[in-house]
């Protein structure tokens, strides 16, 4: 009887909203909605407020397009970072992932997407002119391309390479290869091939 | 750098709120918060509103304590249901699960908990007098106990049995046994024992 019709429209709506999130099915959504029911009203209000405030209040860094609460993000504002290197990534998530490694001290440029004719995303839809502008300021010595190796990612990397190659800046790309701790036998041929091709002097 | 500190307090708060949900870790919470960022403002407002409205607006059926938008739930209001049978369950979820089977046409009584001295829940904290009141009205011929087989569930079932046994009502419990499609070798001994003990005439 209730597979689709819950005994309460309010519950129905809450389940539907939770189920609209990626990776959350209707069963999990029901569990989450019933969890909400058991929380104090203040907690639920704080919960709900967080998302509208995030969506309404969020700003993007005027220099690199990273998410921030002010005009410039903490990375661009950080005087200790190496402003001569810019790592070009597709998304905010990518910045957070690279930051978590603790192995990078330069700046970023978040494209917010990649060139994808199928999705109607062309070069002019991405902040590529903004990146060129940053390079033209003359401080930048290296651009690291850290886009995906999908067809669209490669297209975007190539487009950026063409656009930037006249600008007296070193253009590099992150290394691709067999991951740490991964068995060679399970690596795909392309990855393993790249690993051999891009071999480095053994350091110990 | 951002393992704990995101570049935005608003993002931090949204991630924290998502991570407060059961079964959602900080990695998933970040993914959900970034999903929220990409949605139109109206959608995010509808999303947020659903939970405060659920929490503030929800009512419980005056007869069976099921969640509802009105005074009585759709099950209690449904004249086609058999009001001579009441199935006693612990939670709203249990009602939804039994309804989904399509095998039950009686009413319910949602306890909203079970007797648990460790958690400080005694019989007086549960709507047991309300159940007795329903039975005393004289229409009810059978009470089905559908509580868990945990120590607390068994205690509650036994308490209800003692309380109801003088009231000229048949007291039954749902069958326990090896599930449909389950292999006997993987069933625990208690379940398999119950399956044999409660064997029924073979029907075909």
Condensed to tens digits (0 to 9), the pLDDT of residues A101-133 reads 888 999 999 999 999 999 999 999 999 999 999
Q: In chain B, where does the domain assigned CATH 1.10.8.420 lie?
A: 9-57
Beta bridge partners of B109: B88
**Is pLDDT at B101 greater than 90 in this prediction?**
no
- Binary contact (A100, B2; C-beta < 8 A): yes
Q: Which CATH number fits domain A71-173: 3.40.50.970, 3.40.50.1820, 3.40.1360.10, 1.25.10.10?
A: 3.40.1360.10
**Is pLDDT at B3 greater than 50 in this prediction?**
no
Mean pLDDT across the stretch B98-102? 88
Residue B32's alpha-carbon distances to A97, A125, A138, B11, in angstroms, are 16, 24, 38, 11
Does the CB of B105 have a partner CB in chain A at under 8 Å? no
pLDDT band at A3 (very low <50, low <70, confident <90, very high): very low
pLDDT band at A193 (very low <50, low <70, confident <90, very high): confident
pLDDT of residue B4: 54
Helices (H) and strands (E) in chain B, counts: 8, 6
pLDDT of residue A154: 92
For A25-51, the pLDDT digits (tens) are 999 999 999 999 999 999 999 999 999
Per the document, the length of chain B is: 204
Nearest to A7 among B7, B35, B74 (CB): B74
Residue B47: both structure tokens together: 């999303």
For B149-187, the pLDDT digits (tens) are 889 999 999 999 999 988 999 999 988 888 888 888 888
- Binary contact (A58, B33; C-beta < 8 A): no
Beta bridge partners of A144: A87, A172
Do the beta carbons of residue B150 and residue B112 sit within 8 Å? no
Write down the mean pLDDT value for chain A.
Answer: 91
**Is pLDDT at B25 greater than 90 in this prediction?**
yes
The residues near A59 (Cβ < 8 Å, ≥ 6 apart) are A67, A68, A69, A70, A71, B8
pLDDT band at B5 (very low <50, low <70, confident <90, very high): low
What's the fold here for domain B67-173? Dna Topoisomerase Vi A Subunit; Chain: A, domain 2 (3.40.1360)
Q: In chain B, where does the domain assigned CATH 3.40.1360.10 lie?
A: 67-173
Beta bridge partners of B171: B143
The DSSP output letter for A83 is E
Does the CB of A167 have a partner CB in chain B at under 8 Å? no
Burial A154-189 (b: 16+ CB within 10 A, else e): ebbbebbeebbeeeebebeeeeebbeeeeeeeebee
Nearest to B57 among A7, A10, A56 (CB): A10
pLDDT of residue A20: 96
For A157-182, the pLDDT digits (tens) are 999 999 998 899 999 998 888 888 88
Q: What percent of chain A has pLDDT over 70?
A: 97
What's the fold here for domain B9-57? Helicase, Ruva Protein; domain 3 (1.10.8)
**Is pLDDT at A1 greater than 50 in this prediction?**
no
Q: Where do the H-state alpha helices sit in chain A? A: 9-19, 26-38, 41-57, 74-77, 92-101, 128-136, 151-164, 189-197
């Amino acid at each position: 009887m209730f597979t689709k019709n819950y005994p309460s429209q309010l519950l129905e709506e809450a389940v539907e909203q939770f189920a609209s999130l990626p990776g959350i099915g209707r069963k999990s959504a029901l569990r989450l909605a019933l969890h909400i029911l058991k929380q104090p009203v203040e907690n639920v209000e704080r919960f709900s407020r967080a998302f509208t405030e995030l969506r309404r209040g969020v700003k993007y860094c005027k220099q690199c397009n990273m998410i921030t609460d002010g005009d410039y993000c903490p990375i661009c504002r950080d005087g200790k970072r190496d402003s001569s290197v810019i790592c070009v990534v597709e998304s905010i998530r990518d910045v957070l992932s690279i930051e978590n490694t603790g192995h990078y001290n330069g700046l970023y440029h978040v494209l917010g997407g990649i060139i994808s004719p199928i999705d109607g995303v062309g070069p002019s839809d991405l902040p590529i002119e903004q990146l060129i502008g940053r390079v033209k300021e003359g401080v930048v010595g290296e651009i690291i391309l850290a886009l995906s190796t999908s067809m669209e990612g490669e297209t975007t990397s190539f487009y950026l390479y063409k656009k930037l190659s006249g600008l007296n800046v070193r253009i590099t790309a992150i290394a691709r290869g067999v991951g740490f701790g991964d068995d060679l036998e399970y690596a795909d041929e392309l990855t393993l091939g790249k690993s051999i091709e891009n071999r480095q002097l053994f350091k110990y």
